[in-house]
Amino acid sequence: MLKRNQTMRAVALTEFGEASVLTAHDLPAPTPGEHDLLIEVHACGLNPIDFKVRRGALAKGRPMPIILGFDVSGVVRGMGSAVNGFRVGDEVYAAPSLVRNGANAEFVCVDARTVALKPKSLDHVHAATLPLVTITAWEALLQRARIQRGETVLVHAGGGGVGHVAIQLAKLHGCRVLTTASSAESLALCKELGADVVINYRETDFVERVKQETGGRGCQVVFDTVGGETFDRSLDCVAADGRLITCVGTPSEKIAAKLFRLNATLIFEFMGAVGVYGVRPESHGEILRAAAKLVDEGKLKPHVSRVLAFEEIAEGHRLLEAGHVTGKLVVKVK
């Protein structure tokens, strides 16, 4: 356990707004609740949800300062009375709740049921890139869309955080994977990860290409990680009886008109529901244990495009907001 009244370095916001609201603070280290692990943060992944919460999403009415950072790899330094299965000193990784203080700090509290031992073959910097995107892709493809061997899966932004894990999971499950990307680094990553068809969407109309590649039928599973126009045009890539997944949740008036006749399913994938509604927290721990095994077997690899210093978190937000980050950005904290 930590000393009483121990303080910690944190990057936090005291108001919602642009990246400039992220500032350095000395704050009290958190005290673990009944089900929590207190984790000493060694590294923290960044995700688009960071800047969305920074702008106010999911955070209305929360007391300031608010600490972001929803991916962590680190070492257990304490725990609540109801925790089982962990010991002080364990090296763990997790996706902290989106509606509690996160890991842009030296310490973070995370519901132990959502935590797993980190992959042994990865250091903290690489392990910290995996939890949020892996849980998102795993829930979406394996638990909800239930991809089957031989199915054709379209993954948008295959070079992105969720996308590059989604390609690997779909290939591991015997699917044919089509994917979209545009930067040279992302196009190369998609190929390296084994995508069967890599579509440079700046040069090729992805709807037409998908129709060509599927005999006009579309894909059984379409995973949109982008939203906006990509979502609307994805409606034209779904096969009969197909499943369209969005982890972005774009509003669209075209949803029913396109998907009803196809007898299709629209899956809204929001991995944060575990934290927001307190439902089935164990499911995240299970996914992270299974993912760690895949990583240690060499079957799942994170791609890190840049390691940032603790002082560069605001810069990380700006890069994510500009788009086209290949793989993941991660912050080395310790």
Contacts to a copy of itself from residues 270-299, by CB under 8 A = 270-273, 276-277, 279-280
Which C-beta is closer to a copy of itself: that of 227 or that of 316? 227
CB of 166 within 8 A of CB of 223? yes
CB of 326 within 8 A of CB of 185? yes
Contacts to a copy of itself from residues 5-44, by CB under 8 A = none
Report the alpha-carbon distance of residue 225 to residue 231 in Å, rounded: 8
Contacting residue, 208, 241, 282, 311, with a copy of itself by CB under 8 A:
241
Helix (H) or strand (E) segment spanning residue 286: helix 282-296
Shortest Cβ 118–a copy of itself spacing (Å): 25
SS3 of residue 35 by DSSP? coil
N-to-C CA span, the chain = 18
Please work out, in degrees rounded to the nearest 5, the angle formed at the alpha carbon of residue 247 by the alpha carbons of 271 and 314.
Answer: 80
Amino acid letter, residue 131: P
In eight-state DSSP terms, residue 105 is B
DSSP string of 72-99?
EEEEEEEE-TT--S--TT-EEEE---TT
Shortest Cβ 36–a copy of itself spacing (Å): 21
Shortest Cβ 241–a copy of itself spacing (Å): 6
Contacting residue, 1, 24, 184, 240, with a copy of itself by CB under 8 A:
240
Shortest Cβ 240–a copy of itself spacing (Å): 4
Long-range contacts of 204-213, Cβ-Cβ distance < 8 Å, separation of 24 or more: 206/180, 206/233, 206/237, 207/233, 207/236, 207/237, 209/178, 210/154, 210/178, 210/237, 211/237, 213/152, 213/178
Contacts to a copy of itself from residues 254-273, by CB under 8 A = 254-257, 259-273
Tell me the two tokens of residue 126: 């690489």
Shortest Cβ 52–a copy of itself spacing (Å): 12
Cα–Cα distance list, 163 to 155, 193, 206, 319, 326 (Å): 6, 11, 16, 17, 10
Shortest Cβ 255–a copy of itself spacing (Å): 6
Which C-beta is closer to a copy of itself: that of 104 or that of 225? 225
* 148 forms part of the interface with a copy of itself (CB under 8 A): no
Shortest Cβ 149–a copy of itself spacing (Å): 17
Which C-beta is closer to a copy of itself: that of 183 or that of 265? 265
Which C-beta is closer to a copy of itself: that of 24 or that of 256? 256
CB of 333 within 8 A of CB of 44? yes
CB of 238 within 8 A of CB of 219? yes
Which C-beta is closer to a copy of itself: that of 278 or that of 323? 278
Shortest Cβ 298–a copy of itself spacing (Å): 31
Contacting residue, 144, 173, 191, 211, with a copy of itself by CB under 8 A:
144
Which C-beta is closer to a copy of itself: that of 197 or that of 262? 262
- Find tokens 């009375």 and name the residue: 81
In eight-state DSSP terms, residue 111 is E
Which C-beta is closer to a copy of itself: that of 221 or that of 267? 267
Which C-beta is closer to a copy of itself: that of 282 or that of 311? 282
* 304 forms part of the interface with a copy of itself (CB under 8 A): no
Shortest Cβ 111–a copy of itself spacing (Å): 16
Which C-beta is closer to a copy of itself: that of 186 or that of 246? 246
- The footprint of a copy of itself (CB under 8 A) covers 144, 240-241, 246, 248-257, 259-273, 276-277, 279-280
